[in-house]
Structure 1
Amino acid sequence: MDISVIGVEDWLNVHERDAVYDIAQSTISSLTMSEIRALDNADGTSFYELLDKQKMNYGWIEGSPEFKAEVQNLYKKEINPEHILQTNGCTGANWNALMSIIRPGDHVIAEWPTYAPLYEIPRTLGADIEYWQIKEELGWNPDIEDLRKMIRPNTRLICINNASNPIGTVLSRETLHQIAEIARSVGAYVLCDEVYLPMEYTDEYESMIDVYEKAIITNSVSKTYSTPAARIGWVIAPQEIADMIRTYRDYTMICGGVFNDVLATYVLRHKDKILARNKEILFTNRDIAQAWIDTQQRVKWVAPKGVSTSYIQFDIPIDDETFCLDLLNTYGVLLVPGSRFELPCGARLGYCASQDTLVKGLELVGKALSEFDA
């Protein structure tokens, strides 16, 4: 099986433990167990009551009814719980969904560049991939007219990432409905990775599952809900795809685990408190990042649309991987080079790190950049 490394994961696997100031991650500052316990205003009593009732067996193979009910509450339309399957994070959701959909020779259109598995997995499975390219002149959005030209009678799948990792752009409601219209014209599925939930202009955002009858969406509690330790995600798919995913799950995970299911259910049950906390972190830290960018002659960005991942472009005389390695080795600051996403010279900035880490990390990035002007 000829599968490429995921550039961003390969970078983080090698370097993240060496960082003093990690401003590369895309999770909104992860919750501590103390913060998680405090969500119920009873020091986690309700969480432990849920947990204490459980046998440490395999549990609910597809996710507990309580977990599925919390997932259902995230969407506008009524979703059959048979269409919801628990996965090992959003990564597992994407893997299982794509393994279930793609057949050798299928025509697949993938937004590009973005999170690499959304096009690398179809390529590995033998699909005929066409890239729906995001464009800097459109604020790092793709052009819907390009998609109209690319669609074919045999198009099996359109893959999108909304919001985009690492850019932080969000496809508009109008664009999603246009994608659905184009896909519907040939009966194609649309897979949308929705692991980053926009926290502003929320009236303009829709989940693809609420837009299109042949949508497949993937998500998790890792990014928006700040609990990557749970390693719990989900995929929602039409019945025929959900049934195929069931088979692949038996090969790849069987179940998410009793403890993790209870933790994810508890987190989603208290999502409003988590989102209120995370909005404050996101908006405060974005203002800090913007103020820093305004002082930098060699940095620019398209400000992220209320999501925790962002991309800064550099005007420097060396390649971004060399710069990021020097930055880590000299100053202990971790960024992910743009080359790991096939983007122009720059880096993913995880600006929703702890505020102290962000401020000091940006200060040191500025110091490193200033050396080009010495």
Structure 2
Amino acid sequence: MVKIEPFDVEKWMDKYEVTPGVLNIAETCAASISIDDLVKLCEDPNVPKPLSTSTKLTYGPIRGSLALRERLASLYSARVSTPLPTDNILITPGAIAANFLVFYTLIGPSDHVICVHPTYQQLYDVPKSLGAEVSLWKLRKEKKYVPDLEDLKELVKDNTKMIIINNPNNPTGATIPKSVLQGLVKFARERDIIVLSDEVYRPLFHGISPVDEDFPPSLVSLGYAKTIITGSMSKAYSLAGIRLGWIASRDPEIIEAIATARDYTTISVSQLDDQVATYALSASVLHALLGRNIQLAKTNCALLERFIDQWSDVCSWVKPNGGTTALVRFEKDGKPVEDVQFCIDVIEQTKVMFLPASKCFGQDFKGYVRIGFVCETEVLKEALKQLSLYVRKHLI
């Protein structure tokens, strides 16, 4: 019988995000928007609105609509010599389903998997539940949470089937530079290892510019066929409620194998979700939507940085440069706080909600909390105000 560990992040969110009056800075999506908000972002008034009421609600295209897959293929074909074929994309009910399908299809009891850590628990515990041996490629604060390829060399085995990364990273907000990604691809190609990149927070980069030499490209653009990426409309695109994600790879055999497994879990995604995602990724909407979220991330990251600078005697971080999350260490009298009880006390006394890292990402992160800072700016301001009162009273 498959043994699956409790999903601590999701259990914590489920328990506390319904707290009356909660100031939720645990959420990892860029502040969510409505269909009306999305339509207001459209720069062309002649573009038909999403959610046509005349559409017959059949299952719809099994692998996702052609229009949606074409728009995603276009995103992953920018600045590369060989465009990504539309047929090399599968649409799924969120990135969580995309990741699960990759593992369910490709990983088994005789395999060894290497996964960056800390990261989303699904990425290492699902392979483990399928019988694989899992080694954690640990990210270190002193290296700004960028994975070290020398450490990877110590972890690889003859039966290593897959290396898993998350870029930008949850919970640290760190991004893996282009040079490291290129080194990883070279390493994997020499050993015929599949690389999965969970890019659910891409392209929400707020501390690094596309003109920077080490700006991280999508892994699927680096020329190695045995790369797989997963993505979603939830995080960078503010549309978690439509439950739409995808899988892309340049290896058609990988895509076909996953599509075969997918038949047992998902006939198709909702046509309504597909329509909204297609609209959001249209040229008339996409740039305004991403512009809104990148600016929100920059504004809010600056607010969080000021808070940490103000209370530098008791808290510290590695400033994130991508995604929506930050890993922040709190201490009292020079010792890390008991982060689980700290989070409970904070929400009970201030209504401010964030996650205890030791519970959700492992004991290496005792004293740390994960903060999701790309919420509405006013929510973050009020949360940091209340948190400051708590810090002054209990930690100073």
Settle same-fold status: TM greater than 0.5: yes
C-alpha contact (below 8 Å) 1:162/1:196 kept by paired residues: yes
Check if 1:215 corresponds to 2:215.
Answer: no
Q: Which residue number corresponds to residue 228 of structure 1?
A: 240
Q: SS in structure 1 opposite 2:48?
A: helix
Q: What is the CA RMSD across the aligned residues, in angstroms?
A: 1.7
Q: Quote the offset at 1:306 in angstroms.
A: 3.2
Partner AA of 1:221 in structure 2? M
Assess if the C-alpha contact under 8 Å between 1:151 and 1:182 holds in 2. no
Residue pair 2:109, 2:130 contacting (<8 A) in 1 also: yes
1:89 aligns with 2:94: yes
Q: Which residue of 2 aligns with 1:334?
A: 353
After TM superposition, give the deviation of residue 145 of structure 1 in Å. 0.4
The percentage of counterpart residues that share the same residue type is 32
The answer to whether the Cα contact below 8 Å between 2:42 and 2:288 also exists between their aligned partners in 1 is: no
Give the structure with the higher percent helix.
1
Aligned to 2:370: 348
Q: CA deviation at 1:371?
A: 2.4
2:291 is the counterpart of 1:276: yes
- Distance (whole Å) between structure 1 residues aligned to residue 91 and residue 6 of structure 2: 25
- The amino acid of 1:32's aligned partner reads S
Q: Which residue of 1 aligns with 2:118?
A: 113
Name 1:20's counterpart in structure 2: 22
Query: Aligned pairs, how many?
Result: 373
1:52-109 deviation per Cα after TM superposition (whole angstroms, max 9, x unaligned):
4521110111100000011011113411222100011111110011111102120111
Q: Equivalents in 1 of 2:151, 2:44: separation in Å?
A: 53
Determine the C-alpha separation between the residues in 1 that align with 2:253 and 2:266.
20
**Given that residues 221 and 232 in structure 1 are in contact (C-alpha distance below 8 angstroms), is that contact kept between their aligned partners in structure 2?**
yes
- Unaligned runs of 5+ residues in structure 2 are none
Structure 1 segment 52-201 matched on structure 2, within 5 A: 52-76=53-77, 77=80, 78-197=83-202, 198-199=205-206, 200-201=208-209
Q: How far has the Cα of 1:44 moved from its partner?
A: 9.1
Shift of 1:152: 2.5
Which residue pairs with 1:239 in the alignment? 252
- Structure 1: 5+ residue stretches without partners: none
SS in structure 2 of the partner of residue 17 of structure 1: coil
Cα displacement string for residues 110-160 of structure 1 (whole angstroms, at most 9, x for unaligned residues): 111211111111111111111111011111222110112222332110011
Which residue identity is paired with 1:119? Y
Q: TM-score, normalised by structure 2?
A: 0.90
Which stretch shifts more, 37-46 or 9-18?
A: 37-46
Contact residue 201 and residue 322 of structure 2 kept, 8 A: no
Deviations along 1:343-373, one digit per CA (max 9) or x if unpaired, are 2312111111111110110111222222234
Report the equivalent of 1:301: 317
Q: Deviations over 1:199-248 (max 9, x none)?
A: 43224121110112210000011101111111000001322221121122
Shift of 1:333: 0.8
Please say if residues 27 and 223 of structure 1, whose CA atoms lie closer than 8 Å, have aligned partners that are also in contact: yes
2:327 to 289, 311, 314: 311
| Conserved 8 A contact 1:97-1:245 | yes
Greater CA deviation, 34-43 or 182-191?
Answer: 34-43
